[in-house]
Amino acid sequence: MPNQPNISSDADSESASGTLRRIEGDACCDGPFPATRRVEETALDAELSSFKALANAKRLKIVHALREGELCACELETVLDAPQSTVASHLRKLRDAGVVNTRKEGKWTYYRIADTASLQLLDLAAALGEDR
């Protein structure tokens, strides 16, 4: 375990790290401060499952296609140009993660982005990709 990035003891306190406000003393990770930043496991689960669902090229391609409106599973086979079983398993994961919803109509199953939050997430992520 390390020891300290103590800021206010040296002469260059205000120079590069003026925005920091750290505890005094000789401890970084022994201090009380980082412990209070530990995040609860459960709160991240829903978030994590969304990110996991979108962390795959084929699934990302699917949700991009679905931003313009719903499509049925067979149409998504064309979008991905992949075998039916492959597409089906990706759709399963998107559904389990709550990113997409399904609507069954006869033989066909239509997929669409589940909610506006997911849509926003995708829009923001797309914007993020633009300027890099």
Partner DNA sequence: CATGTATATCGGTATATCTCGATTTAACTT
Partner DNA sequence: AAGTTAAATCGAGATATACCGATATACATG
Residue pair 111/71 in contact (Cβ under 8 Å)? The answer is yes
β-pairing, 71-72 with 100-105? unpaired
Joined together, the tokens standing for residue 117 give: 């939050």
CB-wise, 8 or 89, nearer to DNA? 89
From the list DNA, a second copy, none, partner contacted by residue 92 (C-beta under 5 to 8 A by kind): DNA
- Nearest distance from C-beta of residue 90 to DNA, angstroms: 6
Binding stretches for DNA (CB under 7 A): 1-5, 28, 52, 55-59, 72-74, 77, 82-86, 88-93, 102, 104, 106-109
Return residues touching a second copy (CB under 8 A).
Answer: 1-3, 5, 16-17, 19-20, 28-29, 33-35, 37-39, 41, 43-48, 50-52, 54-57, 60-61, 64-65, 68-79, 81, 84, 98, 103, 105-108, 110, 117-118, 120-121, 124-132
Which of 90, 28, 105 minimizes the C-alpha distance to 60? 90
Q: Which amino acid is at 58?
A: K
CA 132 to CA 6: how far, in whole Å? 34
